[in-house]
Amino acid sequence: MINTLRVVTLIVNNQKDLYTIAELADMVGGEVIGDLDLEIRGAAGVKEAGRKQITFAENEKVLRLAEESEAAAIIVAQNITGCKKTIIRVKNPRLAYAIVSSLFVPDVFYKSGRAPSAVISESAEIGQNVSIHPMVVIEDDVVIGDNSILAPGVFVGKGSRIGSNTIIHPNVVIEYNSIIGSNVIIHGGTVIGSDGYGFVSTEEGHYKIPQTGNVIIEDDVEIGANVTIDRGTSGPTVIGKGTKIDNLVQIGHNVRIGPECLIIAQVGIAGSTELGKRVVLAGKTGVVGHIKIADNTTVAAMSTVTKSIPPASFYSGNPAQSHKDELKEQAALRKLPLLIKTIKEMEKRIRILESELQNESQNFNN
């Protein structure tokens, strides 16, 4: 089993321009077959890998492509025995590739110190090695942990806290009192802590219910671009540890998302709904408010979840139901136009039967 924490430490401490295959194999717990001293300067997919780069192959078909590619070496599964090129054999090639590839990611946002144009409150507590880019605004009483990066145009509202090793991409808005953990990544244009959508409708109009809660984003969360996560009405909206959120997702006030969930692009989750651990919501799915989706449940793309879902379910449709039932309905629906013809014919046959039987009966009675 790969110890991810050890790997991350290795990466942070060791980042350099080239590695030998032996060094890479050691990091991912793999075995080299071929030239141990081969030098690797990058990692790329099988279509893009160049002469000094390593790629990976999860199956025989991709392995053949990788052998024909320019790649210097290939990460493969343990059952692969022979290859024209130097290989690293590992339990999980995709994971090993992800780790090796991490070594070569350009560190484009790290710049030590504070840009002169950044506006930083005197009451803010900024950790060691924090990188504060131009046009950043940090308000009163903000606390930022070591090694975190605030890219250009980021706003951090009053009283917010950001952990260590967190990267906030350009033009992200973090409203007041937000709490953001360590090793978090937030992509460009995302808004954390906008007011929840809460109004009391009266005859005079819709009166705003103040939204005085906040947003808590736990460690190891990644959030895509132009996402919106509303603050709680009172109490927090929570994104659990290790959850990964894609672009243009909407999270309503007081939603609680468990650890390690996967929330794909353009999903929307309405207020006060709770997601358990490792819930997967595929693209564009909508979830109504005040329900619970239990651990390990997956909901297919473009579904509408209107009531709570038990653990380890696979749901789909609008309104969402067990995927098995949804598929049955879809299949039945596909047959429906033909079915209507069949029914019309059956009705005709019944009419004929009825009239024949009547005749028969009359014949008999005559």
Q: Any contact of residue 226 with its own copies (CB under 8 A)?
A: yes
Site for its own copies in 185-214 (CB under 8 A): 185, 187-191, 194-195, 197, 199-202, 204-210, 212-213
Near its own copies by CB under 8 A: residue from 115, 143, 291, 294:
115
Site for its own copies in 143-162 (CB under 8 A): 151-153, 155, 157-158
Near its own copies by CB under 8 A: residue from 264, 279, 281, 293:
264
Write b or e for each residue in 29-51: b if 16 or more Cβ atoms lie within 10 A of its Cβ, otherwise e.
bbebbeeeebebebbbebeebee
> Is the CB of residue 247 less than 8 Å from the CB of residue 187?
yes
Nearer Cβ to its own copies, position 8 or 294?
8
The most distant pair of C-alpha atoms in the chain lies apart, rounded to whole Å, by 111
Instruction: Single out the residue of 186, 105, 178 nearest to residue 153, CA to CA.
Output: 186
253 carries an active-site annotation? yes
Instruction: Single out the residue of 299, 284, 290 nearest to residue 271, CA to CA.
Output: 290
Q: How many CB atoms lie within 10 A of CB 140?
A: 12
Near its own copies by CB under 8 A: residue from 6, 220, 296, 308:
220
Active-site residue (options: 133, 169, 187, 253)? 253
Instruction: Single out the residue of 181, 294, 152 nearest to residue 241, CA to CA.
Output: 181
Q: Any contact of residue 45 with its own copies (CB under 8 A)?
A: yes
- Nearby residues of 248 by Cβ (< 8 Å), 6 or more positions away: 224, 225, 226, 227, 265, 266
Site for its own copies in 48-67 (CB under 8 A): 48-49
Question: Which secondary-structure segment (H or E) carries 345?
Answer: helix 323-365
Q: How far is the CB of 246 from its own copies (least distance, A)?
A: 5
> Is the CB of residue 1 less than 8 Å from the CB of residue 52?
no
> Is the CB of residue 181 less than 8 Å from the CB of residue 220?
yes
Supply 316's token pair.
């789909």
Q: Which span sits near its own copies by CB under 8 A: 62-70, 72-80, 291-299, 330-338?
A: 330-338
Q: Which span sits near its own copies by CB under 8 A: 22-30, 67-75, 77-85, 180-188?
A: 180-188
Nearer Cβ to its own copies, position 36 or 113?
113
Q: How far is the CB of 178 from its own copies (least distance, A)?
A: 12
Q: Which span sits near its own copies by CB under 8 A: 17-25, 68-76, 78-86, 88-96?
A: 88-96
Please state, in angstroms and rounded to a whole number, the distance separating the CA atoms of residues 95 and 99: 6
Q: How far is the CB of 167 from its own copies (least distance, A)?
A: 10
Q: Which residue in the block uniquely carries the two structure tokens 């060691």?
A: 128
Q: How far is the CB of 13 from its own copies (least distance, A)?
A: 18
Nearer Cβ to its own copies, position 49 or 83?
49
Q: Which span sits near its own copies by CB under 8 A: 20-28, 31-39, 66-74, 171-179?
A: 171-179
Q: Which span sits near its own copies by CB under 8 A: 20-28, 30-38, 46-54, 81-89?
A: 46-54
Nearer Cβ to its own copies, position 199 or 311?
199
- What SS3 state is found at 319? coil
Positions marked active-site? 253
